[in-house]
């Protein structure tokens, strides 16, 4: 929330809530305020009263409606400490993706970038012994990396600063048998033409936040809404569901 301070104001009473009139929330000396996580698809009422030692001037009541959000809406995102946290998803047959089509998606909020793009594992199922598997990773200076192995590695990376620290971003990586692509918040960030088949990392579990094939490549931040597909989703398909909870 932000507002223009009235002449002579030294502090501000903030009122915020889902009913009108809104309830008192806090007092601040700043002319902006960062709310806690709000409910999605909800109308909020807010008011700011300007104050000094002599007077309080009551402000108008304003409204806004939040959008459709999936990232950590109810605090369910997984927090990874960048040291030894990981989620082991097993090695079920649905995760042993081969052929030439795949899509990886996740919502990420990075606390700290690892020094190299490959060092911050988001979704990883790799097998170092035969250079096989698939993965999407984050590191460097805000670089997203997409890598697929089939005896050798095939990888692409976005430019630096594609994602920012302490902000939620939707990241997606696709391969359709001819082109590898990475999307950031639904927009194409990089693509590369290459033809190969996906090698099956049959002896490795799928990890979130860590690499099974190269331990120590850990993620520092939050990960939510992980999705793994054995099809290559189009940009319009990714955009249509990236802010929707799938059922």
Predicted confidence at residue 70, as pLDDT, reads: 56
pLDDT at 75 over 70: no
At 79-108, the pLDDT tens digits run 999 999 999 999 999 999 999 999 999 999
CB 240 within 8 A of CB 114: no
Q: 121-142 burial, b if ≥16 CB within 10 A, otherwise e? A: bbbbbbbeebbbbbbbbbbbeb
At 19-67, the pLDDT tens digits run 999 999 999 999 999 887 676 678 999 999 999 999 999 999 999 987 6
Q: 107: which 2 tokens?
A: 């919502």
At 137-157, the pLDDT tens digits run 999 999 999 999 999 999 999
pTM exceeding 0.85:
no
pLDDT at 74 over 60: no
Q: Work out the mean pLDDT of the chain and round it to a whole number.
A: 92
């Amino acid at each position: 929330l932000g507002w223009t301070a009235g002449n002579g104001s030294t502090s501000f009473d903030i009122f915020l809530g889902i009913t009108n009139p809104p309830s008192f929330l806090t007092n601040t000396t700043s002319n902006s305020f960062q709310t806690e996580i709000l409910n999605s698809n909800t109308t909020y009422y807010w008011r700011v009263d300007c104050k000094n030692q002599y007077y309080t001037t009551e402000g108008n009541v304003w409204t806004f409606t939040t959008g459709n959000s999936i990232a950590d809406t109810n605090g369910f995102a997984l927090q990874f400490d960048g040291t030894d946290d990981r989620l082991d998803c097993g090695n079920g047959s649905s995760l042993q993706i081969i052929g030439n089509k795949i899509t990886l998606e996740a919502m990420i909020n990075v606390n700290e970038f690892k020094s190299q793009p490959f060092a911050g594992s988001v979704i990883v199922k790799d097998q170092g012994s035969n250079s096989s598997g698939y993965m999407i990773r984050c590191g460097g200076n805000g670089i997203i990396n997409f890598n697929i192995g089939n005896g050798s590695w095939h990888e692409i990376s976005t430019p630096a600063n594609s994602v920012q620290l302490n902000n939620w971003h939707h990241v997606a990586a696709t391969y359709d048998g001819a082109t590898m692509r990475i999307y950031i918040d639904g927009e194409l960030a990089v693509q590369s033409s290459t033809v190969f088949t996906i090698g099956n990392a049959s002896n490795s579990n799928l990890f979130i936040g860590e690499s099974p094939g190269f331990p120590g490549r850990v993620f520092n931040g939050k990960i939510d809404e992980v999705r793994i597909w054995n099809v290559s989703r189009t940009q319009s398909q990714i955009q249509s569901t990236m802010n929707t909870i799938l059922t």
